[in-house]
Chain A
Amino acid sequence: MTEIIVVTSGKGGVGKTTTSASVACGLARRGKRVAVIDFDIGLRNLDLIMGCERRVVYDFVNVIQGDCTLKQALIRDKRLETLHVLAASQTRDKDALTAEGVRRVLDELIADGFDYIVCDSPAGIEKGAHLAMYYADRAVVVVNPEVSSVRDSDRILGLLASKTQRAEQGNGGVKEHLLLTRYNPRRVASGEMMSVDDVKEILGLDVIGVVPESPDVLAASNSGVPVILNDESDASLAYDDAVARLLGENLPLRFLEEPKRGFFARMFGG
């Protein structure tokens, strides 16, 4: 059984691609066969975050238009052998992506026996975002604890509940999860930032992960190594927990509170 997961948010810059890359790596690290697809036609970026930008020969649109086979376009990850990346096209023609074409590519991946297909949605609610979510079984809605991100997420939840194949066919709809990123426990404690519970209450959704704000995320994208692979980072552990929860494990949320600093650390800074 292949499961199709869309990583979406509405608002841009909240961490969809970072999340797609880390979730895909996390699943692959657990032995699953994973394909991660960049749906952001015209603004390819997943390849950079995955660190395979120089190995892109063919892209998603090439496959849809029959310029190459799917096998030729899939880039095998150098670190995890069960992980494959399908890059977005750099074409400016947004109509290059068609529902029928996307369906064909997904069907071929399913026939090939992939366990998970992770669809990295573009920001917004246009065609690319629509097609990224259309065939999904599950959705990871990435949200920052900030007003515009939360509002846009709610808009996306509305679309997931109406403009997806599962919603149209009425077979249970898409299973939705919240993933909070850029969470700053210190600012939550001082009342400057909404808490996990606040966001959960407003959107009425279960939380699959809370990723603390961390300099490691930028360092990871700088180097093209998804942050989940940096075992020393809290962000990595938080993503790994989220992947475990996606696979059905029941883990408590971590990193919701500021780490306690010892007396000396506070006195001398550390």
Chain B
Amino acid sequence: MGLLALFRRTPSSASVAKERLRIIVAQERSARGSPDYLPLLRRELLQVIHKYVNVDPDAVQINLGQEEGHEVLELSVALPEKTRA
């Protein structure tokens, strides 16, 4: 680190660490409460959808959330764009 570093304003490594941790910890905490069957459920749903539409595996998102005291299973499928001849 020389004089130039003073002007470049790169964030300190401690603040980079903090930011990275904040994100990963939040992500891991949100996954913590979710039941073990979610990945399997996701895979089987994907198989069913695949029978009708050819979707990308990443296009199926499953989330378990809390809403006003209820647990809500949220499923979102991004269908492929129709390519017309």
Q: Interface residues, chain A, CB within 8 Å of chain B?
A: 146-147, 150-151, 154-155, 158, 188, 190-195, 198, 201-203
User: Which of A151, A154, A190, A202 interacts with B18 by CB under 8 Å?
Assistant: A202
User: Which of B13, B18, B25 interacts with A192 by CB under 8 Å?
Assistant: B13
The number of residue pairs between A and B whose CB atoms lie closer than 8 Å in the complex comes to 41
CB of B28 within 8 A of chain A?
A: yes
CB of B41 within 8 A of chain A?
A: no
Bound: A193/B16 CA distance, A:
10
Bound: A150/B25 CA distance, A:
9
Name the residue of chain A whose CB is nearest to the CB of B25.
A154
State whether B13 touches A191 (Cβ < 8 A): yes
Q: Mark B58-83, 1 if CB is under 8 A from A, else 0.
A: 00000000000000000000000000
Total interface residues in chain B, CB < 8 Å: 14
> What are 13 A-B pairs with beta-carbon distances under 8 A?
A151-B21, A151-B25, A155-B28, A158-B28, A158-B29, A188-B14, A190-B12, A191-B12, A194-B14, A198-B14, A198-B17, A198-B18, A202-B22
> Chain A interface mostly helix, strand, loop or mixed?
helix
Bound: A201/B22 CA distance, A:
9
State whether A154 touches B28 (Cβ < 8 A): yes
How far is the CB of A198 from the nearest CB of chain B, in Å?
A: 5
State whether A150 touches B13 (Cβ < 8 A): no
State whether A147 touches B28 (Cβ < 8 A): no
Bound: A20/B40 CA distance, A:
42
State whether B24 touches A192 (Cβ < 8 A): no
Given contacts A190-B12, A198-B14, 16 further A-B contacts (CB under 8 A): A146-B17, A147-B21, A150-B25, A151-B28, A154-B25, A158-B28, A158-B32, A188-B14, A191-B12, A191-B13, A191-B15, A192-B12, A195-B14, A201-B18, A202-B18, A202-B25
